[in-house]
Amino acid sequence: MRKQHRDLLVLIKNQSHIPHSIDVEVEMLHELLYDVETMENLCVASEIIDLTRFALITKPNLVARVLRQRELKPFQFVNNKN
């Protein structure tokens, strides 16, 4: 698995955790996020609102095509379904 440089804020309720256990938790979070943060999952969880054509694009392959563009066209918005 490729290591990514990311900033994670981990809040811990108890101060009794040893530093090694915190590293294990952060590594587990990284593995979880690595599996979840894929283009397919992003396209399923997002939709494109196109106000110039009054269209709502929800098909993952069409959403992926719009997201791969360098810039969105005017009045196109990415909306997260969650």
Structure tokens at 22: 């915190």
Q: Does residue 2 register a pLDDT over 90?
A: no
CB 59 within 8 A of CB 70: no
The residue-averaged pLDDT of 6-24 equals: 76
pTM: 0.67
The strand pair at 76-80 and 46-50 is best described as antiparallel
| Ramachandran category for residue 75: left, alpha or beta (phi over 0 → left; psi -120 to 50 → alpha) | left
Q: Summarize pLDDT for 44-67 with one digit per residue, the tens.
A: 999 999 999 999 999 999 999 999
Mean pLDDT of the chain: 87
Under DSSP, the state recorded for 80 is: E
